[in-house]
Amino acid sequence: MRTAFLQTLYELAKADSRIVFATGDLGFSVVERFQEELPAQFVNAGVAEQNMTSLAAGMALMGKIVFTYSIANFPTLRCLEQVRNDVCYHDANVKIVAIGGGFAYGAMGASHHATEELGVMRMMPNMVVVAPADPVEARAATRALVAHAGPCYIRLGKAGEPDVHPGPIDFALGRAIRVRDGADLTLVATGGMLGPAVAAADRLAARGVGARVLSMHTLKPLDEEAVRAAARETGLVVTLEQHSVIGGLGGAVAEVLAEAAVARDGHAVRLHRIGVPSAFSAQVGSQQWLERRFGLDVDGVLAQLEPLLAAR
């Protein structure tokens, strides 16, 4: 996803001198082309994310479209006051890019585990929050963020993620993509959890269970109608995210369903959240190892779905 984002941004920046890329002294295995060919649109702010964010807000208020770039929590939680007061309060055209969402930097410990920032960014006024699922969505999201006037946050995987979508997609901020159809339950996934959701749906289909799969690439604004329709039409909604179950996708979907009071065939809709508990991981390891530990791989997802399906 990171490469897809940078390639797309480079092409857009060549055609629009307003686009500026600001890095917190990171990405120097992949950002050299942008730096060398568009030096007037490239800023290395150093390991100083607070300064980078305030600098970006000032440039945006002068007419630039500024992308700030750093690892996981650093362009968000480390400089949250600047994000809130400089970017969001002024509705500045700053796009915050976090590389390595979830457990992508798993071996580096809790300081690099990005498992709360989606919920925090959702709470920021004026902020659009996006977590693409694969390189296809990352390219489309980059174009959409450039076109959108105002603060945005985009969470990307680190590198090497496969394409989940086999072809072109109809991408729009705030509108979910229906990847699979089904009438027995709905899997609502964001970011890298779309792959396990699709794989789980395919394995359920082999057993005669129809699982609708929604790629909820935009957490704010959320596609509320897609959530309500899933509840009405399937009765069981399961959210999947590599993030705390508090405040992220699961929280957003729960808010919609609680206020909508949706029922199916006279029965209350069931919601289940698959994600990370509200606790720091006491262990470190690769992203794949941590995904297995927290039940976020395909087998873990299916194991959590079994009692829900049995109860129906």
CATH number at residue 9: 3.40.50.970
Confidence band of 268 (pLDDT split at 50, 70, 90): confident
Q: What percent of the chain has pLDDT over 70?
A: 99
Residue 168 lies in a domain: no
Q: How confident is the model over 277-291, as a mean pLDDT?
A: 93
Distances (CA, A) of 203 to 147, 206, 207, 213, 293: 38, 5, 7, 13, 21
Residue 289 lies in a domain: yes
Total domains, the chain: 2
If asked whether residues 214 and 146 sit together in one domain, one would say: no
Residue 206 lies in a domain: yes
pLDDT at 175 over 90: yes
Residue 285 lies in a domain: yes
Q: How confident is the model over 12-32, as a mean pLDDT?
A: 95
pTM above 0.85, yes or no: yes
Query: What confidence score (pLDDT) does residue 159 get?
Result: 72
- Nearest by Cα to 297 from 73, 155, 99, 103: 103
If asked whether residues 204 and 119 sit together in one domain, one would say: no
If asked whether residues 149 and 214 sit together in one domain, one would say: no
Q: Look at 29 and 228; give whichever has higher pLDDT.
A: 228
pLDDT at 194 over 80: yes
pLDDT at 263 over 80: no
If asked whether residues 137 and 6 sit together in one domain, one would say: yes
If asked whether residues 198 and 114 sit together in one domain, one would say: no
pLDDT at 262 over 80: no
The residue range of the domain holding 218 is 177-311
Residue 164 lies in a domain: no
Q: How confident is the model over 105-130, as a mean pLDDT?
A: 96
- The Cβ of residue 280 has, within 10 Å, a number of other Cβ atoms equal to 12
Q: 46-65: per-residue pLDDT in tens?
A: 999 999 999 999 999 999 99
Task: Indicate which CATH number applies to the domain containing 249.
Answer: 3.40.50.920
Query: What confidence score (pLDDT) does residue 68 get?
Result: 98
Confidence band of 27 (pLDDT split at 50, 70, 90): confident
If asked whether residues 138 and 9 sit together in one domain, one would say: yes
What one-character-per-residue DSSP string does the chain give?
A: -HHHHHHHHHHHHHH-TTEEEEESS--TTTSHHHHHH-GGGEEE--S-HHHHHHHHHHHHHTT-EEEEEEETTTTTTTTHHHIIIIIITTT--EEEEEES-BTTTGGG-GGG-BSSHHHHHHHSTT-EEE--SSHHHHHHHHHHHHHS-S-EEEEE-SS-PPPSSSS----BTTB-EEEE--SSEEEEE-GGGHHHHHHHHHHHHTTT--EEEEE--EEES--HHHHHHHHHHHSEEEEEEEEETTTSHHHHHHHHHHHHT-EETTEEPEEEEEEE-SS--S----HHHHHHHTT-SHHHHHHHHHHHHHH-
Contacts for 264 with CB less than 8 Å, ≥ 6 apart: 231, 232, 233, 234, 235
Residue 271 lies in a domain: yes
If asked whether residues 142 and 28 sit together in one domain, one would say: yes
Residue 15 lies in a domain: yes
Residue 58 lies in a domain: yes
Query: What confidence score (pLDDT) does residue 281 get?
Result: 92
Query: What confidence score (pLDDT) does residue 305 get?
Result: 97
